[in-house]
Amino acid sequence: MQYNPNKSYGYPVQRQSLSEFDKENADYKDTSFDPSFNESKSFDNKDEMQIEIQMFGLIQEIKDAIGKAQANISVIVQCRDTFFSQKQTIEHKDATTNLYQDIMYINANNLYGEVTIRAVVLATKDFILKSEKINAEFGYKEFKVTKDMLLAESPTYISYVHKEPENSPQSIVSLHTTPKFKDGEYDISLENDYIQINISEKLNAKMAPLKNTKEGRELSFNVIFVPAITYALTQLEAHPEYLEYKWAQSLTNALNDLKKTIDVRDEPHNQAQALFRNTILNVLQGEI
C-alpha cells in the first residue's frame, strides 16, 4: 500500500481504485468506491444547480453499517471563489437497497467557476467493522470503529458554474480595437476571464455592422470567432492551467453538454465549429 502521512488514516478507508494495481493495493482489496455525480444547471427560471448522486461500489460491510444507522453517507460541495461549502446527508431509509441515491439542490448564485463535489461515509457510533477484503498488510480483518471515523471517501468531482449561454460561445469573447494593428491584423489574448481579440480600427469598422443581420453574424463567426476559439482550445489543450479562467471553463462546459447529444471530434477546429453549430455550412450552403 502507498502511505501518505497527510492522507492516510492508519486504518482501512475505502476509496476509488481505477487500475488493477490500485485495486490490489487498496485498503479494501479489489474494490472501488466510485459514486456518480450528475449535475445540471438551470439559469432560465431559477438559478439552481441540481446534483444527482448515486453511490456505486461501497463494500457490503459499510453498506450494512449504513443500513443499521452506524454510519452516514454525506456529500460535500465546495466552491473556492465564492467561499462556499455545503454538506448534505443522504437519506437511506431502505437498508436493503444496494444503491443510495439522492438529489442535492444548490442556489447557483452562491457558486462561480470551479465547484468540487465529493462523498464521504462517516461512522455515527462505535461498532466493529469486519471485512475479508481488508488488505492483508493491515494484519487484521476487523477493527473497532469509533464515532466520526471516516470509512470511505470518493474522489473529488469537478464542475464549472457559469451563466453565459452555452449555445453562444461568442459571449465569452471580447473584441477590442487597438491602434497597434493595421488592416486585417489581430492577436488573441487568453490571460483573462474573457478571450480578448485585439483588432485594428479598420477591421473593427468592417466587423461592427455584421452583428445587425443573421448573415453578418454567421460571417463574423467564420472569419473571427471560430479561429479565435480554435486557437483558445488549442492553447487550453497544451496548457491546462488556463482552466483557471472563465472562458476555458465555459467552453469546457459547453463542449461537455454538446457531447451528450452529438458526436464531436477531438480536434480544436472541429470543436469550435461544433460550438457554433457548424456555421461554416450555413455560410457555404446558403442556409441563411
Partner 1 sequence: MEIPILSQSTVFNLYENVENNINQYSDGFDETFFNDNYNHSLKNTDMPTNLEEMLIYDENLKEGNLDAKNSFIVYNALKGLTPYQARDGRVWTALSHKFFLKYTAQRHGGKNNKLTKEKIEQHFFTFVDGKRGFDRHNVCARLWLNGHAVNKCSNGENFEELLNILCEKADFRANIIERPGIFQIPNVLLAVLLTVKSEKHKGVEFKRELYRPWLKYIDRAGGQKIYAMMEKDELIELYNDYLTTIKAQI
Q: What amino acid occupies position 50?
A: Q
In the set 38, 40, 60, 74, which binds partner 1 (CB under 8 A)?
Answer: 74
Asked if residue 84 binds partner 1 (CB under 8 A), the reply is yes
* Residue 42 near partner 1 by CB under 8 A: no
Q: Among residue numbers 100 through 119, which ones bind partner 1 (CB under 8 A)?
A: 108-113
Chosen residue from 16, 25, 36, 78 binding partner 1 by CB under 8 A? 78
Task: Answer yes or no whether residue 244 interacts with partner 1 by CB under 8 A.
Answer: yes
Closest separation in Å from C-beta 109 to partner 1? 4
**Closest CB to partner 1 among residues 243, 258:** 243
Indicate the residue among 97 and 178 with the shorter CB distance to partner 1. Answer: 178
Determine the residue type at 73: I
What interhelical angle do 226-238 and 268-275 show, nearest 10? 130
- Our finding on whether 147 is near partner 1 (CB under 8 A) is no
Q: How far apart are CA 100 and CA 113, in angstroms?
A: 28
Q: Which of 161, 207, 226, 272 binds partner 1 (CB under 8 A)?
A: 161
**CB 39 → partner 1: shortest distance, Å?**
16
The reply on whether position 223 binds partner 1 by CB under 8 A is no
Pairing of strands 71-79, 100-107: unpaired
Nearer to partner 1 (CB atom), residue 81 or residue 257? 81
- Residues 13, 26: Cα–Cα separation, whole Å: 9
Of positions 25, 48, 120, 277, contacts partner 1 by CB under 8 A = 120
Distance CA 108, CA 77 (A): 12
- 254 is a site residue for partner 1 (CB under 8 A): no
Q: Which of 1, 122, 264, 280 binds partner 1 (CB under 8 A)?
A: 122
Which residues form the interface with partner 1 (CB under 8 A)?
6-9, 47, 74, 76, 78-85, 87, 108-113, 120, 122, 148, 150, 153, 161, 163, 174-176, 178, 191-194, 196, 244
